[in-house]
Copies of this chain bind each other. A is one copy, B any other.
Amino acid sequence: MELGERKRKILEAIVTDYIETAEPVGSRTIAKKYLTDISPATIRNEMADLEDLGLLEQPHTSAGRIPSDRGYRYYVDQIMEIKYPSPQEIEKIKYMLQIQTINELDKIIKRTTKLISDITKYTSAVLTPSVRKSSIRSLQLIRVSDYDIVAVVVTDTGIIKNVVIKSPNAVDDSKILKLNNLLNEKLSGLTINDIGLTVISDIQSHMREYSEIFSAIISVVYESLKEDDAEVYLEGTTNIFEYPEYDDKDKAKTFLSFIEDKKLLTNVFAEDTNNFCVYIGCENENDKIKDCSIVKATYNIADKTAGTIGIIGPKRMDYARVIGILKSISNVLSEVFEKTL
């Protein structure tokens, strides 16, 4: 859709003002604050056109205009310029994500989540990498007692996963050692999807003597690795109370109950075909968040997309700023992982 220069300016003014004030924007306001050389009457005519085009809405006759979902979309795609954090701010972000004594994946991610919600003042969600998409760096069995084994899997994405196994027969250290060597040799470097019947029966052929223990172990480990285990971290859930759109109790409840359902949340923030996405209002599939917007970006570990970071908030969102922040943090995060994992 091609819009004249003046219409673009007016749409921009309305989005900007509405994002700031949360009040419908009238023609007089625009004429006074944004476009001082046009009269309110002219602006009214243009606004009527923009409403016909589906880019603006009027809550009621005697109110100003607010952007429609399509209006926000047009603003994001065609008008807005991304506001990236300043170099100083980026340094600060780097600093925040690096100073930690223990560089575990979880801690870095937890910290990132908090950082995002602190900076943006929206609710942030970060998805951890999933074992399914990682490849195995090391798989080690630990004998805890005669019948208790713990399998520890370390992936190239830094995940450490423990699987508890009850063995049908007693195991001793030498058996464990043999199994360990074999499993590591055969499985390192593979992704979960690579592990198929061929690989398993190959290992099995080398392990005839312990076949019973082996099949107990391999099935539990395989099941456990196969399940979708991407976790989602949340921060700043109470930030929504700062926005008048959630003054209504039901609105707040709907939002929070969506947020509380980790399954839904994981789906929404899961990886996309693009490594950067904005969903505005009704563009969201889930009804509960049809009046929210979501911005998300992926981050990399070991040079492949591993998880996503994102925020969820009211449609009246400072897109230019939020998008700049998320893109920057996603880069910093990928860098941090490169260094520390």
User: Which residues of A does B touch, CB under 8 Å?
Assistant: 101-104, 137-138, 140, 142-145, 150, 152, 154, 160, 162-164, 220, 223-224, 235, 237-238, 241, 247, 249, 252-253, 256-257, 260
Contacts and interface: CB of A to CB of B under 8 A. Distances in A.
Given A150-B152, A160-B164, A224 B102 contact: yes
25 contacts: A101-B223, A103-B164, A137-B144, A138-B142, A138-B143, A138-B150, A140-B142, A142-B154, A150-B152, A150-B154, A150-B160, A152-B162, A160-B162, A160-B164, A162-B162, A235-B260, A237-B260, A238-B253, A238-B256, A238-B257, A238-B260, A241-B252, A241-B253, A247-B249, A256-B256
Contacts of A256: 237-238, 241, 256
B164 A220 contact: no
Contacts of A104: 162, 164
Contacts of A152: 142, 150, 152, 162
A145 B224 CA distance: 24
B150 A144 contact: no
Contacts of A238: 253, 256-257, 260
Contacts of A247: 249
A144 B145 CA distance: 23
Nearest to A162: B160
Contacts of A164: 102-104, 160
Contacts of A163: 102
A238 B138 CA distance: 41
Contacts of A223: 101-102
Given A138-B143, A162-B162, 13 more contacts: A102-B163, A102-B164, A102-B220, A102-B223, A137-B144, A137-B145, A140-B142, A142-B154, A144-B154, A150-B154, A160-B162, A237-B260, A241-B256
